[in-house]
Amino acid sequence: MLTIAIQAGGQSSRMGEDKALKPFLGKPLIQRVTERFSTIADELIVTTNRPADYTFLNARLMPDLKPGRGALGGLYTAIASASQPFVAVIACDMPFASPNLIENAHRLMVQEEADVVIAKSEEGYEPFHALYRRETCLPAIEAAITADLWKVIAWFPQVHVRTLSPDELKSFNPSGLCFWNVNTPEEFQQAEQLAKRSDEAAI
């Protein structure tokens, strides 16, 4: 019922190297992320335009289906490539991405017949740690791309979006770390140190 789609399409410009492949506690960061979700995934996909770099992962590797369309094109690729009705899209640079949050999002999606279950922080929505209903989201995203829209959430008015409350977020991810994406060597080192001390607490 659940596809986990890990996105490995970023440029990693601030990191100075491919952060997906950068060793995190001895293994590539993307491997840490895929392993966190492998127990809840009926299908695991990695979206990448460099599949040869990721053959070591036990995942289906998918290139962009809408090349040159930025983050929205990446989201389209993740959802279009999925074979399951529910698709969790997760950025590869979130070392504390939360399977528990996604499992609870799935429960809410089924109970409330939502099309998107997503968190909203002070910076805005978190579309790359969220859950999507493939049947309704795919045509809405395709229509947005056809209309030459670029914002990742441009299509949200066309579907039923369930925004997680702060209390729900705290309950599903007590550490509050699941949306932390590492963009610089300093952030990467910070995340490693925190993971060493409290990996289990950060789930």
pTM of the predicted protein model: 0.94
Q: What is the mean pLDDT of residues 98-113?
A: 98
Q: Residues near 104 by Cβ (< 8 Å), separated by ≥ 6?
A: 168, 171, 172
Give me the torsion for CA of 168, 173, 177, 179, rounded to 10°. -60
pLDDT tens-digit map of 57-76: 989 999 999 999 999 999 99
Alpha-carbon 151 to chain mean position: 16
Which domains can be identified in the chain, with CATH numbers?
2-202 (3.90.550.10)
**Where do the H-state alpha helices sit in 97-133?**
99-112
Q: State how far the Cα of 24 lies from the Cα of 192, in Å rounded to an integer.
A: 7
Q: pLDDT tens-digit profile of 8-39?
A: 966 555 565 789 999 999 999 999 999 999 99
pLDDT of 12 reads: 55
For the chain, the average pLDDT equals: 93
Higher pLDDT, 202 or 96: 96
Q: Report the pLDDT averaged over residues 117-135.
A: 95
The residue to which tokens 């209903």 are assigned: 133
Give residue 202's pLDDT. 45
pLDDT surpasses 60 at 199: no
Distance between start and end Cα atoms, the chain: 22
**Of 134, 59, 140, 136, nearest in space to 92 by CA:** 59
Percent of the chain whose predicted confidence (pLDDT) is above 90: 87
Return d(Cα 173, Cα 176) in angstroms, integer: 6
